């Protein structure tokens, strides 16, 4: 494209017939008149008839702008065609096609990851809502617990006061019981003195056994032989002896056995403090029978009765029999 030289000149039009009142010549100046001239020397006489008018100058400018726009569009179109060709080539063969595939795969992976993240986000939102509800429920429970704890503290305080009152009452009862026990011991001591040391003919005579009890060595024996209707089982007989401050008779040696048998009067047997426990003959004091030849083999649910002539026999503890009580003699 040839270079165009733009020359700008000032054109002056002179009025040959000025108005009478004007003393100066009018001048009209036109700027920026485009002329195409390869020479730099212009004179007023040679170029006066070759200068273009305003309309021609505007058309020249319009064509110039249109040519520039068309050139720019051609360049843009050429670049687009080149880019499409490059993309097509890269997408069909070689590393470019593989790159496009990888990009597509990465795009799919990213879309899948985005979908998974959305699901995770939705799940987290749901969990947050559940946690909020659980938090509200826990706050309510905490409030109830605090209320219950306050009520419990009040109850504990009341129970502490009641406990203190009970302790005071219990201490008072213990004191009263101790006093009563002392009085009872004094009464029992006095009763023992009265029972073992009766006043006979205004003279106090102390004996090792009470009236109705037989002395043998260091023990006193009471032989209870009521009528048939008033006889007792082994347990009932033992309760009767305990009520008298004694227990059923016990023999740990031959002399004690002979003493028990000697006082077993009559043809009926007498309960003694021997029964079967854990498959063995045992006395009521927890000791075992010293000589198994004194009675037959142990039978569950059996107790021993004593005869004066037949020795000892094993019978059911539920039978009604007479009984012998034993207690320590009073030491004068």
- Mean pLDDT, the chain, whole residue set: 77
CB 237 within 8 Å of CB 316: no
Question: Which residues lie across from 3 on neighbouring strands?
Answer: none
Q: State pLDDT tens for residues 119-165.
A: 989 999 999 999 999 999 999 999 999 999 999 999 999 999 999 99
pLDDT attached to residue 94: 54
Note the pLDDT of residue 22. Answer: 42
Torsions phi, psi of 191, nearest 5?
-65, -40
Cα–Cα distance, 147 to 211 (Å, whole number): 72
pLDDT tier at 39, thresholds 50, 70, 90: very low
Q: Residue 6: its pLDDT value, please?
A: 44
What confidence tens digit (pLDDT) does each residue in 8-37 have? Answer: 444 444 444 444 444 444 444 344 434 444
State the pLDDT at residue 53: 64
Delimit the domains of the chain by residue range: 11-89, 214-328
The Cα-based distances of 128 to 117, 125, 139 in angstroms read: 16, 5, 16
The third-level CATH classification (topology) of the domain covering 214-328 is: Mannose-Binding Protein A; Chain A (3.10.100)
Higher per-residue pLDDT: 81 or 184:
81
Strand pairing report for 270-277 and 322-328: parallel
């Amino acid at each position: 494209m040839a270079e165009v030289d733009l020359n700008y000149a000032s054109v002056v039009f002179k009025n040959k017939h000025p108005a009478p009142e004007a003393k100066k010549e009018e001048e009209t100046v036109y700027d920026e008149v485009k002329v195409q001239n390869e020479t730099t020397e212009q004179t007023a006489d040679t170029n006066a008839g070759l200068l273009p008018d305003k309309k021609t100058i505007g058309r020249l400018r319009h064509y110039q702008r249109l040519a520039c726009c068309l050139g720019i569009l051609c360049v843009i179109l050429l670049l687009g065609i080149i880019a499409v060709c490059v993309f097509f080539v890269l997408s069909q063969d070689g590393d470019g096609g593989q790159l496009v595939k990888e990009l597509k795969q990465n795009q799919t992976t990213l879309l899948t990851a985005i979908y998974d993240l959305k699901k995770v986000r939705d799940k987290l939102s749901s969990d947050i809502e559940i946690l909020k509800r659980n938090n509200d429920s826990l706050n309510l429970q905490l409030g109830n617990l605090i209320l219950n704890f306050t009520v419990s503290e009040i109850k504990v305080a009341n129970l502490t006061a009641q406990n203190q009152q009970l302790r005071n009452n219990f201490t008072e009862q213990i004191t009263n019981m101790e006093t009563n026990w002392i009085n009872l011991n004094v009464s029992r001591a006095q009763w023992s003195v009265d029972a073992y040391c009766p006043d006979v003919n205004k003279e106090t005579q102390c004996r090792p056994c009470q009236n109705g009890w037989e002395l043998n060595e260091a023990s006193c024996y009471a032989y209870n032989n009521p009528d048939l209707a008033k006889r007792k089982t082994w347990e009932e007989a033992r309760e009767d002896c305990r009520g008298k401050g004694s227990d059923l008779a016990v023999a740990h040696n031959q002399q004690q056995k002979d003493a028990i048998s000697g006082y077993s009067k009559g043809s009926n047997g007498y309960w003694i403090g021997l029964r079967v426990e854990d498959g063995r003959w045992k006395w009521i004091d927890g000791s075992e029978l010293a000589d198994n030849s004194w009675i037959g083999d142990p039978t569950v649910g059996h107790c021993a009765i004593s005869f004066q002539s037949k020795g000892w026999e094993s019978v059911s503890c539920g039978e009604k029999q007479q009984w012998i009580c034993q207690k320590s003699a009073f030491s004068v």
